[in-house]
Structure 1
Amino acid sequence: YTPRDIGAHTIKASLAGMPIKGSPFHVRTFDPSQIRITRVKQGIVGVPCKFSVDASEAGDGTLEISVSHNGQNIPNSALIVGKNRYECSFIGQQEGTYKVAVTYNDVYVQGSPFNVNIVDVGGIRLTGNNWNLVACNKKAGFSLASPH
């Protein structure tokens, strides 16, 4: 049996013209390929890293998000913003690569898991011209210096 449409279905099963015990069966189908994730590639240490998941065209289901860094699970949240639409976030407390996995009814969503690079901008310094007085309509040069 291969369902082709999202929604409620009734399956009548028989063998040699005799109904199978429990038939008809009632099932609900979903299509994880209809789920869209707005992925982020980079975030900042200590700042919520946000992305959205739109499962509104996928049928009924349960969304699960997991985030990990160096083998440790990272707390995350998924707020409902509409029917099967979610705003998700997590806060990376350390610089590095975080793995984000999204499943719908225990099936990985296309493009998941994906990585998010979290950077520490605390040590970045701006250097350049006198920043107390900068002329309008004239280029002002500056440089960014990172301790990394």
Structure 2
Amino acid sequence: GKFRCTYIPVIPGAYLLNISWNGRQLRGAPYKVNVIGASYPDRVVITGEGLRGGLLGQNLDFRIDTKKAGPGELTAYCMGPSQVAYCELSDHHDGTYRLVVRPQETGRHVLQIKYGGVHVQGSPYAFKVSAQPDASKVRVSGHGVEHGILADFRSEFIVETRGAGAGQLTVRIRGPKGAFQVEMYRESQRDRKILCRYYPTSTGQYIINVRWSDVDVPGSPFHVYILDTHDELMQFLHEQDVGHGNHKLSAIHHANNSSGYHNTSLSSSQHNNSFHHHQGALQPRFTAVQQNGGAMQPHHYNHSHNVSRSSGYYQWREDM
């Protein structure tokens, strides 16, 4: 006859199964049985800066904790817009792993992490890989970086960062003694043109430093001279044309070696836009946010400032 036997192991491990017939062990007994515990992919925890994305040419790091997930095989696969990203898993032999992802191209990447053949909680993860910052691609234009007359000076200028990759834009203005406001915002969310405006209150020289990730953009620093009258402006421009403007300017403008410093800074990363302003002169055009594992989180800054010297600190993140 045939007999069906069942048993339920409650602890994973190696077992010996003894089977006897009429008091005698069957041939081959005891049988070795290896019992594997249940796998719980939803208990795997993924952390790391890599969840925010990064820059091309840099590794993205992740930490994977499987201590509460039971036994199982851990796998990782990352795909970019057209190429597979290199993935390397390192076992720390304590239930945790390090995952290094090395993207081969810019753009949206999708990372799949599976445990026991099943997606872990949150997988697949999506993030943006951006180009390295390239200050040479930033363009600055507008009346605000040209010489003019104080009474009708148009101080606006545009900074365009299209093609400059991810980075931080900083505008620093030094002029004659006395405070003036500096504003920076963007009219459209669809481009990377940033409108800058400052408010000079006296004649003299204004030095405008525009830097992208701590590198001067083409033309920076911009030396802007603001004069009292049209005749003075024409005289200055003429002297510049003949190469004598620099040493004759002192006769037609006020002292320009003062300590009025005005800083404006923006950062461009992978995903979204954030904006913060401290002085209150400019109304926010969009909300401060920061990429955090694919979720949009409020981003807060705490910057001290002197109203007579500084107009505040601005920062946003935007798509490449």
- TM-score, length-normalised on structure 1? 0.68
Equivalent of residue 39 in structure 2, options 17, 25, 30:
30
Q: Does 1:54 align with 2:176?
A: no
**Larger CA Rg, structure 1 vs 2:** 2
- The structure carrying a bigger helix percent of its residues is 2
Shift of residue 26, structure 1, vs aligned partner: 5.3
Contact 2:44 2:69 in 1 (8 A): yes
Shift of residue 144, structure 1, vs aligned partner: 4.4
Percent identical pairs in the alignment equals: 22
User: 2:119: which partner in 1?
Assistant: 108
Q: Does 1:141 align with 2:141?
A: no
Contact 2:64 2:96 in 1 (8 A): yes
The number of residues matched between the two structures is: 128
Alpha carbons of structure 1 residues 129 and 115: separation in structure 2 relative to 1, 3 Å? same
Contact 2:172 2:261 in 1 (8 A): no
2:83 corresponds to which letter in structure 1? Q
Contact 1:77 1:90 in 2 (8 A): yes
Bigger RCO (CA 8 Å, 6+ sep): 1
RMSD value over aligned CA atoms? 3.3
1:72 corresponds to which letter in structure 2? Q
Greater alpha carbon shift after TM alignment, 52-61 vs 39-48:
39-48
2:39 corresponds to which letter in structure 1? F
The Cα offsets for residues 103-131 of structure 1, whole Å up to 9 and x where unpaired, read as 11111111101101112242345442367
Contact 1:6 1:59 in 2 (8 A): no
User: 2:173: which partner in 1?
Assistant: 129
Greater alpha carbon shift after TM alignment, 76-85 vs 99-108:
76-85
User: What secondary structure is seen at the aligned counterpart in 1 of 2:122?
Assistant: coil
Alpha carbons of structure 1 residues 64 and 142: separation in structure 2 relative to 1, 3 Å? same
Could you tell me how far apart the structure 2 residues matched to 1:42 and 1:139 are? 34
Could you tell me how far apart the structure 1 residues matched to 2:58 and 2:11 are? 38
Q: Does 1:68 align with 2:79?
A: yes
2:46 corresponds to which letter in structure 1? I
For structure 1, which runs of at least 5 residues remain unmatched after alignment?
Answer: 11-24
Could you tell me how far apart the structure 2 residues matched to 1:69 and 1:98 are? 4
User: What secondary structure is seen at the aligned counterpart in 1 of 2:92?
Assistant: strand
Contact 1:6 1:31 in 2 (8 A): no
User: What secondary structure is seen at the aligned counterpart in 2 of 1:33?
Assistant: helix
